[in-house]
Amino acid sequence: MGVEIERKFLLAGDGWRTLGVAVAMRQGYLSSDKARVVRVRIEGEQAYLTIKGQSVGATRAEWEYAIPLADAEQLLLLCEQPLVEKVRRRIALGPHVWEVDEFFGVNQGLVMAEIELASEQQAFDKPAWIGAEVTADPRYYNSALVKLPYTRW
């Protein structure tokens, strides 16, 4: 079993826009129950099935498997609607990689950054473009954005 320790932040500037490489993503949820999230994601030409357990603080169990792209396309048709559409930039800064997600479709206007850590207490430097932390706010979970999209807040 894998463990994901992730903190989420809103952005406080556009300094990230020229950094990293952008890749388009579409993802859907076969289950968005807070106790068990099952996600299908197409990232560029790669596809993944991900299962996540319930969050405890910034930590939760996670399993991720590569799946055939054609299977992912079919599975997205079975997912809760709407799908989550975004462009992700992975930005390496020091020993960490920030993932900045700019959302589109029904979540247009939302931009968040995430950082994965080895422990919840691990120290890290925040770039100037990082704003308020939203790790504890469940509205910002991608699975929650299916049920209540950002444009309806």
Show which residues are catalytic: 29
- What is the distance of C-alpha 8 from the center of its chain? 9
C-alpha span between 101 and 109 (Å, rounded): 11
C-alpha span between 21 and 50 (Å, rounded): 22
**Phi-psi category of residue 57: left, alpha or beta, with phi > 0 → left and psi -120 to 50 → alpha:** left
C-alpha span between 140 and 153 (Å, rounded): 11
